[in-house]
Amino acid sequence: MTRADGERAPSIQTTTAILWRSIITTADPDQLRRLLAECSLGSRQSFEALYRTTSGILLAVALRCLGQKDLAEEVVQEAFVRIWHNATDYDTSLSQPLTWMLSITRNLAVDQLRKRREVPVNEFLIQALEDQSPQAAEQLSAARQAMALKRCIETLDDMQKTAITNAYFHGLSCTELAVQMSAPLGSVKSWIRRGMERLRRCLES
């Protein structure tokens, strides 16, 4: 589909990618750099702060990769063990701090999938998470997309907004959302599906 201005309208997959980019930009990179630097010096307090700040994001990523919360939680715990032991190896000139942490998490998730001989991580998700070292114009485009996404999320019905934000930003499964929202599983799936379609249409405008 093409918009009136000639630009190609975003697909559901593109909308999903923008959601993931928005997740990545929710944490302050300067704060994360400071916390990682302090972790490299052995600060347990900073490590606890780092965990509180990013564990939900890493869990959401692991859950999207693995599809099972118990496995995702195991991957996140192992990821933080590696982050703690390898904080001295983090190089600020090579990647953003959250990108580095996501890479550790993603690699562990891929290893888990390979052990289980299951389907590899969705390549679209990988593309959304990998650090491509974008140029300034691309960074500006990503920032505009994130702003547009935030605006579009505010247009959703309350149930759609709650379901989508908890599924994508907090890693809850549809079953967990049904319990949390005291709603039938079918309704939760419908809210997410219809909400994603509304986001797609909103981003077209």
- pLDDT given at position 8: 44
- pLDDT given at position 79: 96
- pLDDT given at position 145: 63
Question: What CATH class is the domain 12-204?
Answer: mainly alpha
- Give the residues of the chain that fall short of pLDDT 50: 1-10, 12, 118-122, 124-140
Q: Which two tokens stand for residue 41?
A: 């010096």
Dihedrals φ, ψ of 25, to 5°?
Answer: -90, 5
Neighbours of 117 (CB within 10 A): 6
Q: Which two tokens stand for residue 55?
A: 């564990």
Domain map (residue ranges) of the chain: 12-204
Select from 10, 25, 23, 52 the least CA-distant residue to 164.
23
